[in-house]
Amino acid sequence: MNKLFACLALAFVAPIFGSLYAQDEGPAPDQYEPPPPVGMDVDYLAPAKQKLSIGFRVLSGPKVRFSGSGIIPSGVNPSPDPTGIRRYNDGFIDPDARTDATTGAALPADGRTNTWSYTNATQVDATNNGVDMHTYSGTINGTNGGRGRASSGTGFELTFERDFGWHLGRIQFDIIGGLGMNKISYSRTTSVAGMMTTLTDVYNTYDPILDGNGDPVPDGNGNTTYNSTPNTTTTTAPYSGPSSATSSTGATVNNTTLLGLQPVSDTAAAPQPTLVSEKWNINGAYFTLRGGAEMIVPITEKFSASMSGGPALVYVGTTFSVDQTITPPTGSPITSTVSDQYSTVLPAYFADANIDYSFTDTTDVYLGAVFQSTTGYNQAIHEPNGNYTDRIDFGNQEGVRGGISFKF
């Protein structure tokens, strides 16, 4: 570029100085001949020796095999924390939030609370005059192996070529190097056999005492009075207290059903068969560093064919995760996720075949087929909630490539 700029500058400036010289010295003699241009050496006129290609690279995805099993904990805490909060898969119990209607101060503790909830009408326990709260957990039977093929998608590539002047007739031989990147993506959801364990805590409920109009009966301080013995709650599910309603006189009154702060019984049922939804996810990317030789065969003035090949190194990194989900009879589905991250370097080799078209002396476009063979690796998850393994086997991959090249 510097030589070209110097030549252009010289070509532009020389006539100016020549004209000034002619004005000062008079016309040049007829036998005078200007010297040849300075700086126009042989390197300027020589063909380009390097080529940089930028384009896309699409490869078939690697094969995937997997197996394993795990457990699905409830994810809640039915035992009270230091503040008295209990959590179930189909409800919760918080500390009492009742206040005195006259002073606004917290009412004395009576072993009950107006702040609680449940989600399903089947939790109403008429036999025990209360509400059943549940925690659910699950396990997966067996290792449930499977297999598939991951998606590789469209990646990018950079390729550099160097012409050292090696020819055999019209055939040219270059040295090349390249870097490419492709993604790995695999997802599979299936249902497998498992067992679900149910723990049940029963809590007594205490309804407000109502007058003839159906309004809660207040005490001397205007506070709602409640039955002293347990009642089956008449609240429809889903339910969350505290709640309020408007009385027949237009006043806002507390009509919350109270719940005992301690369960009156707790039972653990024998595990029952259930279906567990397993979702396998493998996501990542791999970089391919290539090096080798290229053979270029001219076809016409604009078209040429090329073939290249050589060794390669593949750096791959993936995140392997499994979502394990059970759907209990009450409450929302419960999911446990286990995962692992892994990276490694794998040996490989490649071969490419292309058709090139020259737009100009310095710009080509190319389109071709690619082949790449790579080994594989194992990845494993070892967590308290699951032990899973997978095998990612690249093997022989085929695809296409294309892009634009710049010669310099």
- Assess whether 8 and 42 both reside in one domain: yes
User: What pLDDT was estimated at residue 394?
Assistant: 96
The average pLDDT across 247-260 equals 77
Distance of alpha carbon 221 from alpha carbon 207, whole angstroms: 19
**pLDDT of 308-327, one tens digit each?**
999 999 999 999 999 999 99
330 and 342, same domain (yes or no)? yes
Work out the percent of the chain whose per-residue pLDDT is above 90: 68
Query: If pLDDT is split at 50, 70 and 90, which confidence band does 4 have?
Result: very low
- What CATH number is attached to the domain comprising 364? 2.40.160
Task: Give, rounded to a whole angstrom, the gap between the first and last alpha carbons of the chain.
Answer: 10
Domain enclosing residue 364, as ranges: 50-71+139-195+274-407
Q: Say if residue 256 is in the same domain as residue 190.
A: no
Average pLDDT for residues 172-194, to the nearest whole number?
Answer: 96
Q: 394 and 352, same structural domain?
A: yes
- Report the mean per-residue pLDDT for the chain: 87
- 127 and 245: one domain? yes
Report pLDDT for 45.
52
| Cα-based distances in Å from 130 to 72, 133, 156, 162, 164 | 28, 10, 64, 83, 89
Residues 371 and 259 placed together within one structural domain of the fold: no
Structural domains of the chain, count: 3
Residues 11-26: pLDDT tens digits? 333 333 343 334 444 4
Residues 388 and 294 grouped into a single domain:
yes
Same domain assignment for residues 105 and 239: yes
- Please indicate, yes or no, whether residues 175 and 313 belong to a single structural domain of this protein: yes
Residues 286, 320, single domain; the answer is yes
